[in-house]
Chain A
Amino acid sequence: MVKYKKIFKKAEEEKIEALELKIKKSNNFSFSFFNNEINSYKMSNSFVISARGIYNGKMGTADSEKYDKNTMDYIIARIKENAMLMDSEDEPLIFKGSKAYKRKNVFNKKLAATSAEEKVKKIKSLDKAIKKASDLITNVETHYYEAAEEYTILNSYGLKLTSKTNYALVYSSATADDETGETKVQTAYRFITDLDNIDEKIFAQEIVEKTISQFGSTPCASGKYKSVFSPKVTGALLSALLSNISAEQVQKKSSLLADKLGQKICSSKITVTESPLKRNPFFRYFDDEGVATYDKILIKNGVLQTYVYNLQTAHKDGVESTGNGYKARGKIDIGLVNVAMKPGRLNQQQLLEKLGKGIYIDEISGTHSGLHSQSGNFSLIASGFMIEDGKKGRPVALITIAGNIFDVFNDVIAVGNDVELQTDGYEVPSILIKQIAISGV
């Protein structure tokens, strides 16, 4: 970190009142198989320095992936110029530090030490197992993705925080054709902590089952249905709901959860937590402003417990930052890490039995356009199964589910115990809801 010292010195000379540098060094490694032949192999190392500084009472920012003799001048000149354009009334804040940080060593040394050859061998075997699991499978693609990151925050007040993380993910997609020429494709993924413990058979069965069980799927009749949503669907809708607990959205009147603190906002079956300190690929012990993170309850038995804050929004409301300041789009936004919904007692089968007659929604797509977190309205393409007498019946596809996320979470009758870790870090179970509007035929 010695080499960054001169940037702080120069910043001081240039009348920058306080400076913060964030340095990220990443190493990625990935490869993929197509029909058991390796067809892509990637490796990379990259660097980015992100700087923020207070100049003339305003905050200016700049990022650079280049680090050479000109970088210091680039950063300082850009900070000064950008600060001069700012006219936000918000007081610029660079953080002096939290009292204590709960640093943990989450770096998976075994994963890092395993050779590339070994990884390729293990994934090839997994890819083969998928193809072997059914004669109907025509194509299999399996991707392995591994990332390691070293992250450091330094600032003029002497704050210095570092973290080192890594993770690996395997992701497969299987295509199947039936005798009528109908094509189905499904995907499955796993986060990998130990390559020796990949549940090859279970993974292969899961994806194959998912793919071929969709053969013969057709739309169901339009109407309102009692429904179970899979963990994936629950996660997507919950993520949209929680974007409304951002203090920035609340302060700027863009949240339907404004003035709802301490009030019931959804079914009493729902309890949601944020656990950034949980040991998993998303672990964070400080946010992008250097504030110590902590585990907290967001919604308890349906009652909203807190909004989440970065330094700026906390200052405005006269509270402490909740350690949720994460960088996005060139500024410090508000984000959540390791969100979990508290599981209920019923497994998925029991949940379907409780549903009795209705529909199980397994997959949705198009959340980036069909799910509006601010109005809460959604209308999404979906697929799943009809449920008769508590059992999975015929497959259903090319339907939409539509409604409002606030209504959905109000209508939850039961929460399952089949928690799954989603690729965005949400750990969520299936939910049983009173009714959902379906468009089909």
Chain B
Amino acid sequence: MISKNLATEVLNIATETGADFAEIYLEEENTASIGVDNGKVESCNDSLTYGAGIRLLKGLQSVYGYTNDLTTKGLKKLAKDLSASFFGEREIELKTIKKVRAGKKHLPKIPYDTYPREKIVKMLKEASEVMKNYDESIVRTTAQFAYSNKKITIFNTDGKQFSDIRCRGRAALVAVASKDGKIETFYRAPGAQKGMEFFLEEVDLNQSAKEVAKSAVTMLSAKECPSGKMPVVIGSGFGGVVFHEACGHSLEASVVSKGLSVFSGKKSEKIASNIVSAVDDATIEGAWGSGNIDDEGNKTRRNVLIKNGILNSYLVDDFNGRRMNEKGNGATRRQSYKYEPTSRMSNTFILPGESTPDEIIADTEFGLYAKSMGGGSVNPATGEFNFAVNEGYLIQDGKITHPVKGATLIGSGKEVLLHVDRVGNDLKREQGMCGASSGMIPADVGQPTIRVSEITVGGTGGDMNNG
């Protein structure tokens, strides 16, 4: 997008007042989206994201700016304006920039821009039809598809140039069921850092559509969820949002480095039960949260966060790593050039154990089976988390009985992992969008079926012990 010579000039302007590091992040992303509402194409949009972010570091201070003006004049002006926030003498000077090869592990086999959009429309309409025809209580369906092709280039004062290409596609299915003055919605949104082959060969959208409609209809007849502390069996796949919220965010250097996390200074200490091991792995081929390099240019890795219950590693970016005397471990991400990068999760999941999901249920006398989880959030300083159960069932005498609605799981991240007493063998990852200071980024959450011996369930159905 810009030449090495221009990058060198801009970086040298940025560091003329004493910054000890500077970086230019350039991005061009084409995004297309198609929305089918009740079987009709109601929106179809293309959008072009284009710009550059320049970051200057000096000790523990960072200065960041961005612009869409990528002309020589525009970039030099931004670098000059940013450098005006420091008042020292030049400390570093960049002479040459060398390209670092990062690999091309996640390229699509069938790029979206070579695949006819009419065929995507046809696929969405079919899925809509499946949802609508599932039951007469389905009153509305939406099927959306979005894909993007993002090219990034990074130049920094270590004299390095990195680039990466990220192609992602995702479908989102929503079914709205209504009966007797009640409305329930359900959704599923499979995606990958792959091309159209993912939707042609790996996922069956019509099957997903059927399951979405079924869940929405099931929840119409769900009873109020009992509340109070009880054992909770959390289903595989998106159930991993528990780990993501309860623990993952609190392992990010952005909070750990400042002592603002419940897990600050806890490395090598026991933070989970012995049967819990968890990783953050941005190297999985074609996974939703993967990348060849992170957004600072570091090679991505498989970071083992927790090993047999012991805290093994944080997620570290180079800047926050300065407070911790650690180097970045390939976990730096950002939504776009409009965001300063920081430590984030990529594909984060609990590793499989030995029990089968059926054994775990059969072994539970009374509790909640949280089959499908919604999103959640956490306060990293206190570790308090909450997340919604989108599809839940009561477990009585080792059997799943009836569906329950309106449940939220709350607790403290410090405790919930210590209370995991069963880990299943059915590891599955699902796709989500994770929001934090560096924006909304695609991230996989995942886990096998697990059981937490005791967790607070918030519902409207009253205390289970008092009827």
Chain A residues in the interface with B (C-beta under 8 A): 34, 37-48, 60-67, 74, 78, 81-83, 85-90, 138-139, 175, 183-185, 219, 222-223, 252-254, 256, 329-331, 365-366, 368-370, 372, 374-381, 397-403, 437, 439-441
Which of A40, A139, A254, A381 has the most B CB atoms < 10 Å from its CB?
A381
Beyond A138-B259, A183-B381, A379-B408, 11 additional contacts (C-beta under 8 Å) are A40-B64, A81-B117, A82-B45, A89-B40, A369-B375, A369-B386, A381-B386, A398-B411, A400-B456, A402-B408, A439-B456
CB distance B50 to A64 under 8 Å?
yes
Q: Are B384 and A402 in contact (CB under 8 A)?
A: no
Chain A residues near B227 (CB-CB < 8 A)? 222, 400, 402, 437, 439
A-B interface pairs (CB < 8 A), number: 235
Q: Does B405 contact A (CB under 8 A)?
A: yes
> Is residue B260 within 8 Å, beta carbon to beta carbon, of the partner chain?
yes
Closest 7 CB pairs of A and B: A400-B458, A330-B45, A369-B375, A439-B227, A381-B386, A379-B408, A439-B458
Residues of chain A contacted by B60 (CB below 8 angstroms)? 37, 39
CA distance A44 to B28 in the complex (A): 17
B260:A369 contact, CB within 8 angstroms: no
- Report the separation of the CA atoms of residues A180 and B258 in the bound assembly, to the nearest whole angstrom: 20
Residue B136 at the chain A interface, CB threshold 8 Å = no
Q: Which of A253, A370, A398, A441 contacts B384 (CB 8 A)?
A: A398
Instruction: Give B308-342 interface residues, CB cut-off 8 Å to A.
Output: 338, 340
12 contacts between A and B (CB under 8 A): A37-B60, A40-B61, A43-B82, A184-B381, A219-B456, A366-B386, A366-B388, A370-B387, A381-B410, A381-B458, A402-B227, A437-B462
Contact A366 B45, CB 8 Å, known A39-B61, A44-B338: no
The distance in angstroms between the C-alpha atoms of A284 and B458, with both chains bound, is 39
> Contacts of B376 on A, CB cut-off 8 Å?
366, 369-370
> Known: A254-B183, A400-B227, A403-B460. Contact between A62 and B46, CB under 8 A?
yes
On B, residues with C-beta under 8 Å from A are 28, 33-35, 37-38, 40-51, 60-69, 81-82, 85, 117-118, 121, 139-140, 176, 178, 181-185, 225, 227-229, 258-260, 262, 338, 340, 374-377, 379, 381-382, 384-388, 405-408, 410-412, 456-460, 462-463
A80: min CB distance to chain B, Å? 11
Q: How far is the CB of B17 from chain A (nearest CB, A)?
A: 12
Q: Are the CB atoms of B410 and A63 closer together than 8 Å?
A: no
A398 to B178, CA, bound (A): 33
Q: For residue B339, which residue of chain A has the nearest CB?
A: A42
Contact call B50/A66, Cβ cutoff below 8 A: yes
Tell me the interface secondary structure of chain B in the complex: strand
Given A65-B49, A253-B140; A34-B258 close (CB under 8 Å): yes
| Contacting residues, chain A, for B33 (C-beta < 8 A) | 329-330
Which A residues are CB-close (under 8 A) to B381? 175, 183-185
In the complex, the answer to whether B408 meets A372 with C-beta atoms within 8 Å is no
Q: How far is the CB of A371 from chain B (nearest CB, A)?
A: 9
A254 to B183 CA separation, bound complex (whole angstroms): 7
Cross-chain contact B68 with A46 (CB below 8 angstroms): yes
CB of B386 within 8 A of CB of A331, answer no
Contact A41 B63 (CB under 8 A): yes
The answer to whether A375 touches B182 (Cβ under 8 A) is: yes
B405 touches A377 (CB 8 A): yes
Q: CB distance B47 to A402 under 8 Å?
A: no
Task: Return the chain A residue nearest B464 by Cβ.
Answer: A222
- Report if A62-B405 is in contact (Cβ < 8 Å); known contacts: A39-B62, A185-B381, A398-B456: no
* A374 and B185 form a contact (CB under 8 A): yes
Please tell me if the beta carbons of B228 and A63 are within 8 angstroms of each other in the complex: no
Given A87-B41, A139-B258, A380-B386, also A400-B176 (CB < 8 A): no
Which residues from chain A contact B178 at a C-beta distance below 8 Å? 253-254
Q: Which of B68, B118, B406 contacts A85 (CB 8 A)?
A: B118
